[in-house]
């Protein structure tokens, strides 16, 4: 590959913060980038968060300028609703087959006015909002999602189920809705590949002792992120299922750590952040953190922890045995390290689940012929030394696809893939 910026083309898989950063840097060097994203929007997990630790910046505002820059960059082709189906060749000369599903809404003609949602008669759970709210069969996942162009969910759209409905098309003033759009098969020639497929969280129903999906007001940390979000299902109002604000909340750390066999790196900080958020919104609220070891590595995080602790958040080193319903609230039975048993009564419980590789990682590992480790994360070529190279030359990994990590480490890895790719010519 040449370093002069014109002949390099790169396939980036996953348009979260890692994929965005890689793509922008590569494109600015003059390389052509195909950024493949399976969702109908881009921005990954970060755009689900209201604020990010430790400076409590608005996550959407933080990432939006990068997203806009990406949408306007002529060297980047963003392929949404797309998945890599096959990859052949070797470094400098890969051929990737990408399947791009039809959006049924024209990206050029649509201006994002949202007039098409209203008339749609279908209502289903909104997955982006952790099923805490409803959406239509033509929708954008949340206000502010980019690109601001809806997608038709053909599994639920009446027209695609054979009925003669065209209410959304009638509502569109720009002839942007096109039911005849077809799925496309693309063949891309690229010199290198960046895998930045991110993470999902541990399935909390596997640990029934905490009452998730069985007891009222037990949430995952991801759900609470959406509840805290000003563009989320409650518009940022923290409420119990009865509509009242909680007076006491417990956050249990490390759910699934034992099952997974590793520490997910960022959950302590995320839990402390949520405590900060709760205290800010509801100053009288009592927040307790139930944790075993506090993992707040690096020079920046301890200050934030101390600030939150100083605001009256309880930190209890404990092992939780069981959560039960107690009247309208929840009773958490726990044991401290000296073996003493105790019970904490709260209105709301937040569980911090382990971080896992994204759902399709094994399939993608097979397509790319790169190894995964025992936990399903993509393996780096030289563990402990270099985390962005895979054992297949020309294929690189960045972010949580490799191991749980925070945003700055993810961004650094994304930038590192660019360093590696642009120096491949030697």
Partner 1 sequence: MAKKIGVYVCECGNNVADNVDIDRVIKALSPLRDVAVVEKYRLLCSEDGKEFLKQSIIDHELTHLVVAACSPKQHEHTFMSVCVAASLNPYLFQMANIREQCAWVTQDKEEATDKAIRQIAAAIARVAYNEALEKKDIDVYPDVLIIGGGIAGIKATHVLASPDRKVYLVEKNSSLGGKVKGFDKLFTKMESGSALIEKELKNLREDENIEVFTESEVEQILGFFGNFEVKVVKKATNEELNFNVGAVVLATGFDLMDPKGLPQYGYGKLDDVYTSLEFEEMNVPGGPTGGKILLKNGNPPKSVAIVHCVGREDKGYCSKVCCMYSLKSARMLKAQLPAVKVSQLYSDLCIPGKAYQKFHEETKDLGVEFIRAEKTNVTQNSKGMTVKYESETGSKGDLAVDMVILVPAMEPSSDTNKFAEMLSIPIDNEGFLAQEHQKLAPVASSVEGVFVVGCAQGPKNISESIVQSEAAAGKILSALVPGRKLELEVKTSEISETFCTGCKTCISVCPYSAISFDDFREISVVNEALCHGCGVCAAACPSGAASVKNFAFTQIYQEVEALLK
Q: Enumerate residues 271-300 that contact partner 1 by CB under 8 A.
A: 293-300
Q: Considering the complex, state which of residue 283 and residue 426 has its C-beta at the smaller distance from partner 1.
A: 426
List binders of partner 1 among 220-259 (CB under 8 A): 257
Calpha distance 269→300 (Å, rounded)? 11
> Binding to partner 1 by residue 199, rule CB under 8 A?
no
CB of 77 to partner 1, least distance (A): 17
When binding is defined by CB under 8 A, the residue of 153, 225, 358, 409 that contacts partner 1 is 409
> Binding to partner 1 by residue 26, rule CB under 8 A?
yes
> Binding to partner 1 by residue 187, rule CB under 8 A?
no
When binding is defined by CB under 8 A, the residue of 13, 25, 87, 177 that contacts partner 1 is 25
State yes or no: cis peptide before 140, omega within 30 of 0: no
Structure tokens at 45: 């997990």
CB of 45 to partner 1, least distance (A): 13
Neighbours of 243 (CB within 10 A): 8
Structure tokens at 332: 């958490």
When binding is defined by CB under 8 A, the residue of 32, 135, 226, 405 that contacts partner 1 is 405
- If you search the block for the tokens 């959950």, which residue do you land on? 267
Q: Considering the complex, state which of residue 224 and residue 401 has its C-beta at the smaller distance from partner 1.
A: 401
Does residue 121 contact residue 159 with C-beta atoms inside 8 Å? Answer: no
Q: Considering the complex, state which of residue 82 and residue 410 has its C-beta at the smaller distance from partner 1.
A: 410
Does residue 90 contact residue 80 with C-beta atoms inside 8 Å? Answer: no
> Binding to partner 1 by residue 413, rule CB under 8 A?
yes
Beta bridge partners of 342: 334
Number of residues that bind partner 1 (CB under 8 A): 77
Site string for partner 1, 154-183 (x = CB under 8 A): -------------------xx---------
List binders of partner 1 among 352-381 (CB under 8 A): 373, 375, 377, 380
- Helix (H) or strand (E) holding 418, with range, is helix 407-422
When binding is defined by CB under 8 A, the residue of 261, 312, 341, 371 that contacts partner 1 is 261
> Binding to partner 1 by residue 386, rule CB under 8 A?
yes
- Helix (H) or strand (E) holding 90, with range, is strand 82-90
When binding is defined by CB under 8 A, the residue of 61, 86, 107, 111 that contacts partner 1 is 111
CB of 5 to partner 1, least distance (A): 5
Taking CA atoms, 219 is separated from 111, 310, 344, in Å, by 36, 25, 17
Collapsed DSSP state (helix, strand, coil) of residue 415: helix
List binders of partner 1 among 49-108 (CB under 8 A): 52, 54-55, 57, 62-63, 66, 68, 72
> Binding to partner 1 by residue 416, rule CB under 8 A?
yes
DSSP class per residue in 179-243: TT---EEEEEEESEEEE---EEE--GGG-GGG-TTTSTTEEEHHHHHHHH-TTSTTTT----TTS
Calpha distance 364→121 (Å, rounded)? 36
Site string for partner 1, 126-145 (x = CB under 8 A): --------------------
């Amino acid at each position: 590959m040449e370093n002069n910026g014109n002949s390099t083309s790169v396939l980036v898989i996953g348009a979260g913060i890692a994929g965005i950063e890689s793509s922008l840097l590569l494109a600015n060097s003059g390389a052509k980038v195909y950024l493949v994203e399976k969702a109908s929007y881009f921005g990954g997990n970060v755009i689900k968060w209201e604020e990010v630790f430790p400076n409590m910046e608005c996550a959407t505002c933080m990432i939006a300028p990068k997203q806009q820059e990406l949408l306007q960059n002529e060297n980047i082709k963003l392929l949404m609703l797309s998945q890599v189906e096959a990859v052949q060749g070797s470094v400098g000369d890969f051929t990737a087959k990408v399947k791009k599903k039809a959006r049924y809404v024209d990206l050029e003609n649509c201006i994002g006015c949202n007039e098409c949602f209203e008339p749609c008669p279908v209502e289903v759970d909104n997955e982006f909002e952790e099923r805490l709210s409803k959406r239509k069969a033509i929708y954008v996942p949340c206000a502010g999602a980019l690109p601001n162009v809806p997608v038709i969910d053909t599994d639920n759209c009446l027209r695609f189920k054979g009925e003669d409905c065209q209410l959304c098309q009638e509502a569109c003033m720009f002839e942007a809705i096109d039911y005849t759009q077809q799925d496309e098969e693309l063949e891309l020639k690229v010199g290198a590949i960046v895998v930045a497929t991110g993470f999902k969280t541990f399935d909390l129903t596997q640990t029934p002792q905490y009452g998730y999906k069985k007891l009222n007001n037990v949430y995952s940390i991801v759900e609470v992120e959406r509840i805290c979000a000003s563009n989320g299902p409650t518009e940022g109002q923290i409420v119990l299922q009865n509509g009242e604000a909680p007076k006491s909340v417990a956050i249990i750390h490390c759910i699934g750590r034992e099952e997974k066999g590793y520490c997910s790196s960022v959950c302590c900080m995320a839990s402390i952040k949520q405590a900060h958020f709760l205290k800010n919104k509801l100053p009288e609220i009592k927040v307790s953190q139930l944790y075993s070891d506090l993992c707040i590595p690096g020079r920046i995080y301890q200050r934030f922890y101390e600030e939150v602790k100083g605001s009256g958040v309880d930190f209890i080193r404990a092992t939780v045995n069981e959560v039960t319903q107690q009247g309208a609230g929840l009773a958490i039975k726990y044991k401290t390290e000296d073996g003493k048993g105790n019970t904490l009564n709260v209105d709301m419980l937040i569980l911090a689940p382990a971080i896992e590789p994204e759902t399709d990682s094994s399939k993608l590992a097979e397509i790319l012929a790169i190894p995964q480790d025992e936990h399903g994360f993509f393996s780096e070529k030289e563990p402990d030394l270099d985390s962005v190279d895979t054992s297949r030359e020309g294929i690189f990994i960045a972010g949580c696809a490799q191991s749980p990590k925070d945003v700055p480490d993810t961004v650094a890895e994304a930038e590192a893939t660019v360093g590696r790719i642009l120096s491949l010519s030697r």
